[in-house]
Amino acid sequence: MDLTTVEQSWLAGNEGPALRRAMEIVVALGTIYGAERLVPVESVQISGVSYRNIGDAGLDFLRRWAGEGARVRVPTTLNPTAMDMADWDMQGFDAVFADRQREVVDAFVRMGVEGGKPDPTCTPYLIGNRPGPGAHIAWAESSAVTFANSVLGARTNREGGPGAIASALTGRTGAYGLHLDEHRQATLRVEVLGQPATISDFSALGALVGLRAHNAVPYFVGLDLEATDPVCEEKLKALGAAMAATGAVALYHVPGITPEAPASSAPPVELPILTVEEFATGYAALSDDIARIDLVWIGCPHASLAEIRDVAEQLRGEQLAIPLWVTCARPVRELAARQGLLDVITGAGGRVFADACMAIAPVRELGFGAVATSSAKGAYYLRNLARVAASFAPLTECVQAAVTGTMPGSLS
């Protein structure tokens, strides 16, 4: 691999062990994937922040790296943690877990992440980390990767946890995969016959496409986003998150949205075709057969202000039978509070938590064995990672489930 003089010096350890270790990781990953050089990145987004997922071994690894003097070189944001860093006790976490989770975040603070004041979120593009078309970045959260590549036109592979940290410390990643033009071409034509309408409908569509597309680059034909005036970024975020969860889609093309797929461009005609006639089956594909629900979770990926407003409108005048939790970035929560939306949600008995993701939390230990969510990705990871029963349903049904404690349409 061709390295610049500066990169060779870092790799030789001339700037200390932390940077040497980071360079070793970046170079090793680049070599594995056939990169001929490294490319500077404008921003990094780090995953693997939940203490529940990384445990004591991961915490020790981070502590050691921070202790060696590791410092980020480019703007870097953090994926969600397991808990709200301020209101963890309201979620039912014990003090021991909370201490460990705080230590994980502290290690990143010592590395200088977000100027030492991180706002952990899987939607960094909603709080200012919003790269432009053609920008090389190194992001790890799969839903954010898909959004950055497909909607913003930035260029990132789906980085792993240590790889993203190494990119943050070096400001580099290998020039391979989606950093290169040739890997950004569409490879699968997806013809959508039934029009999804709501954000969760887009999530259901994405779940079906991801299950069949695997790691292809889908080109959507017939997806009428103009009909959802104004073009709704939340729908694109839901679509991409679901495809990245049930498949490994990191880039998709929607004409008129994706910078590489201008509205005027003719759809590729020689690609394999996937026809989706009935996106609604995506709901059933990710749902367990459950009637009684312990928790309703909205905000996967983290909710935007508009999504929180939607929840608040649906909760106005209601009283919940079971907990309903919305997760979002802290700055978004603060905006929602200023607009009175939190008062509406808490008045009904719901909560809005910042920083947190329920899929990487010890959900069962918190007392929840069955969770309803309006997110395909949320349901997928609740079942496969948190190992609890899940029901994936439109937002209106999730709200009804929170009011009654029972999934609408169930017989119990």
- Chain residues in the site for ligand F3S (CB under 6 A): 79-80, 122, 141, 143, 241, 300-302, 327, 357, 359, 377-378, 381
Q: In what order do the strands lie in the sheet with 389-392?
A: 351-354, 324-328, 295-303, 370-373, 389-392
The minimum distance between CB 320 and ligand F3S, in angstroms, equals: 21
In terms of CB distance, is 242 or 320 closer to ligand F3S? 242
79 versus 228: smaller Cβ distance to ligand F3S: 79
Residue 393 contacts residue 113 (beta carbons within 8 Å): no
Nearer Cβ to ligand F3S (7/201): 201
Helices (H), 47-195: 51-67, 88-91, 95-110, 142-147, 161-170
Kindly tell me which of 111 and 379 has the beta carbon lying closer to ligand F3S. 379
Shortest Cβ distance from residue 385 to ligand F3S (Å)? Answer: 8
Q: How far is the CB of 126 from ligand F3S (least distance, A)?
A: 12
Q: How far is the CB of 357 from ligand F3S (least distance, A)?
A: 3
Q: How far apart are CA 81 and CA 104, in angstroms?
A: 9
Question: In the bound complex, what is the minimum distance in angstroms from residue 386's beta carbon to ligand F3S?
Answer: 9
Which tokens hold the place of 8?
């060779």
d(CA 136, CA 40): 7
Compare residues 27 and 300 and give the one whose CB is closer to ligand F3S. 300
Whether the Cβ atoms of residue 253 and residue 150 lie closer than 8 Å to each other: yes
Task: Decide whether 113 or 300 has the Cβ nearer to ligand F3S.
Answer: 300
In the block, tokens 């899929």 appear at: 359
The DSSP call for residue 139 is: E
Return the closest-CA partner of residue 394 out of 198, 192, 193, 195.
198
CB 80 → ligand F3S: shortest distance, Å?
Answer: 5
